[in-house]
Amino acid sequence: MNRLCSLILLSSYAATTVSSTTIAEIQGPAFRSPLVGQTVHNVTGLVTAKGPSGFYIAEQRVPDIRISNGLSIFTTSTAVLNQVTVGDVISLSGIVAEFRSSTAPNDLFLTEINSPSSIVVLSSNNNVTPLVLGKDRSPPTQQLSSLDVGPDGFLSAPNNISRVETVNATLQPEKYGLDFWESLEGQLVTIPQPVAINFENSFGEFWVYGAWPVTGKNNRGGLSITFGPDGIPDANPETIIIGTPLDKTKNPKVAVGFGLTDITGVVTYQFGFFYVLPLTAPSVVSMPSPVVPPTTLTTSNDECVLTFGDYNVENMAPNSAHLPTVASHIAVHLRTPDLMFVQEIQDNSGPTDDGTVIANVTLTNLVNAIAKASNVTYSFIEIAPVDGQDGGQPGGNIRQAYLYRPEKLNLVPGSPVGTALDKTEITGPPGKPILSFNPGRIEPASGAWNASRKPLVAAWQTALGHQVFTVNLHLASKGGSSSTQGDARPPVNSPLDARTSQVKLVADFVGTILAKDINANIIVAGDFNEYLQTRSVYEPLTALLTDIDEVAGIPPVERYSYVFDQNSEQLDHAFISDVIKTRGAEFEHIHVNNWSPTFTARVSDHDPSVGRILVC
């Protein structure tokens, strides 16, 4: 689509003509220009950068930090672009516009001049001096927007109750991240000593922070989602995406913790986020060690000691290329825990949509590969879903499964194995809860699980009869969520209502176990697809169980299993009952995937974890 056809002007073109206008007057102190739709003349500025879609000009900074002194001049005309050179001081005329693509209604608007004309070069070969971030200005470190109201900040519910561009608030760049980057829109900036905090995307773009104050910094150099000192989740607004270089050089491949040469470029907004478009590509100058140490939490001959692992193995089919590597992770890095919670096991035909639902071949191949790497042979259990009803890759019928070491524990006998539609319930006398189906599923007919995985529940016992209940989760994915730097505030967290309902059903089930036996050993673990900082989702569950990271004393900045956009974040969790908490528990996140030196070296987008508890 022609970009100009997508242009959205926020006022009529029945334009007022302004005889002479400054960049500061065009930018103004709010998100939208006060002069949008007007034709302006004699706009004067220094050309700071050029690219294939226009150039950027700047004037002397004004004392008001809310107002950017830079401005984007949009044009794809070679004739126009050839009229200006970086270092020229020019004057021009044009139409003030606020642009966002018609295909991205949740983007913020970008202030620019369209149809530039009457360009006059007033002088050439002038010095171009960028604003140095961390020296001249530093971004705030916790909140994104004043519109993210609620106790959970940018994660508060309900979502999308206001819009940045509708409110058009006066900027508060010293407090809010969106306001800070908006106040630099169109300006040339330098990011000193940038550190990458994610892998590059398919366009070669990646997130960084520079030599300025940051919060949530983990020992790898990434920024983790944590709670701020006021109890509000920290959104890490001090980060920025490095986009495609304006000189068409190619950005390097990066990973979390990679150090880079200084980056100088212009601040813009596109594709749902604020960017810096570098004048030229930076280079990698340092990288952390790719060595991932194995867990220290090993299995034991002591019957009271139980080790368990959790791993989302990302669309594993019988012939998946990453299956041997995952098996090696379980054998070498996780040290073959007594019990494995696994998610995203595909059926025996993988993504082929042929009606197959059982995954015994997939699980057998995984178990055999682990045995080859470790001489430990697991048994496994699964419940095959109804074809096409549990979401995930079409045809794959992903499900949760357990791998277990039969020399250490087995299913409690006496109950039948459930099917996809069987609802397992708690029966038995007081003090002795029994699953009506073992393994079984929690409320599989509930609408809360539409196109989502139903929890896999099992009751286990050791040789001496010590019992443990486990719930293996893979809640509804975040597909359909909006950009954290978009127009909707708080950002859309999709499907928040579904995950909230799913957690409530799990909590109700756990409550029925505890009602029978307050001292029951219970572990609820898996891929929750939600941060613990979204407290509204977890309230029913955290009223009954405790996050094992908390019990194990893992520093909040080291609680992550996933890296996405600017954040190291935790989607995979384990919760334990009070009786296990009282005895003490250990837990470790094993970053075999998110510490990979390249994106392609990862075999899953999740990191596994290992826990060790006492069951007697």
Q: How far is Cα of residue 23 from the mean position of the Cα atoms in its chain?
A: 36
Residue 437 CB contacts under 8 Å (≥ 6 apart), including other chains: 415, 416, 417, 418, 422, 423, 424
- Select from 305, 307, 311 the least CA-distant residue to 328: 311
Q: How far is Cα of residue 440 from the mean position of the Cα atoms in its chain?
A: 31
Burial of 322 (0-12, 13-18, 19+ CB in 10 A): middle
Q: Which residue has the tokens 């516009």?
A: 97
Residue 382 CB contacts under 8 Å (≥ 6 apart), including other chains: 345, 358, 359, 360, 363, 399, 400, 401, 402, 456
What is residue 12's predicted lDDT score, i.e. its pLDDT? 35
What is residue 6's predicted lDDT score, i.e. its pLDDT? 43
For residues 384, 386, 392, 396, the Cα torsion angle rounded to the nearest 10 degrees is 60
**How many residues does this entry show for the chain?**
616
> What is the DSSP code string of 143-201?
BS-TT--STTGGG-SS---EEHHHH-PBP-TTTBHHHHHHTTTT-EEEE-S-EE-S---
3 state SS of 96:
strand
Show the DSSP H helices in 28-106 as ranges: 78-81
What is residue 59's predicted lDDT score, i.e. its pLDDT? 97
Torsion over CA: 245, 249, 250, 256 (sign): negative
For residues 484, 487, 489, 495, the Cα torsion angle rounded to the nearest 10 degrees is -60
| Amino acid of residue 319 | N
What is residue 251's predicted lDDT score, i.e. its pLDDT? 98
3 state SS of 25:
helix
pTM for the structure as a whole: 0.95
What is residue 20's predicted lDDT score, i.e. its pLDDT? 81
d(CA 185, CA 468): 56
Torsion over CA: 457, 511, 570, 291 (sign): negative
Residues 429, 479 contacting (CB under 8 angstroms): no
SS (H, E, C) 534-581: CHHHHHHHHCCCEEHHHHHCCCHHHCCCEEECCEEECCEEEEECHHHH
d(CA 505, CA 509): 6
Residues 530, 537 contacting (CB under 8 angstroms): yes
Residue 429 CB contacts under 8 Å (≥ 6 apart), including other chains: none
Residues 524, 486 contacting (CB under 8 angstroms): no
Identify the segments of the chain with pLDDT beneath 70: 1-19
Residue 600: other Cβ atoms inside 10 A = 9
What tokens were used for 372?
């080859």
Q: Which helix (H) or strand (E) holds 269?
A: strand 263-270
The CA-based diameter of the chain, rounded to the nearest angstrom, is 91
